[in-house]
Amino acid sequence: MKKNNPGILLVNLGTPDAPTRPAIKRYLRQFLSDKRVINIPKFIWWPVLNFIVLPFRSIHLSKMYRSIWRKEGSPLMVYSKNQRDALASVVNLPVEIGMSYGNPSIKHSIDKLIAQKINRLIVLPLYPQFSSATVAAVWDGICKVFKNYKSLPDICFIRDYAEHPAYINALKICVKRSFKKYGKPDLLVISYHGIPKRLVNEGDDYYQRCLDTTNALVQALGLNDKQFIFTFQSRFGYEPWLTPYTDTTIKSLPSKGIKYIQVISPGFSSDCLETLEELNSRNRNYFINAGGERFEYIPALNTENTHIDMMYQLVSEFLY
């Protein structure tokens, strides 16, 4: 009987290496060339990407990234490394963080784990709600890495954890702590990253998984239908995305008598550009400029002890 030597790979989307136009262009080129993300024929998309999207969007994004960048680097990378280290200290096993786009790549991190003689690879994509644009892209990346391997480890792949009790409990604790610190708001805005409606029509169950998380969280918090709203942010391009949109919803709330909101984005396991710049800065300004009075952002789970415990619970099923 072979000895069980598991290793854990945590996977997130990725981040540019620096808040500069060249670094952002490298990152965006890889990200937006993935057919899981942009499913447009290459002969149409290639010139649009290289001559329109990359030159102009990199200017805009460089300003946004600079506004959140830390001395240690991108917030997403800082939190991801801390999550890796915290989980490793609990499981006392090799743990690596890999990014679907950018560095460290999934290949780089898998190679590091294999070099440590693991024979079971436990993959935890840090996307609580499955989507073909995120979780399935991780699966594609793993298959691509092992395409040229002559021997394969056992692979345990965690699809998602939208309703996992430890995940819902971690969210509940963060929301209750915020309510206690800042007072209960008129409305809790629960915002998820959007995807094109087309993907849902083609069979992606992301919308349902976001709804599952929302229902479990509001039940745990004891909120009624008038105390929360469920929205989608971060749309890109011109095709219809999941609605209601977070920005247009937030702009409309003050005129309806909603003057104090708290916002949480349960789909992000780490704070990043979409939460820190888009939600906590831009959408805060939208709300205040529309007549709102108080706006509080509830941070992502990041390195909360309850979050690390949740990760441990998810991977522990496959450790022995």
Is 274 one of the annotated binding-site residues?
A: yes
Query: Order of strands across the sheet with 6-12?
Result: 95-99, 6-12, 120-125, 154-157
Per the annotation, binding residues for Fe(2+) are: 193, 274
Per the annotation, binding residues are: 193, 274
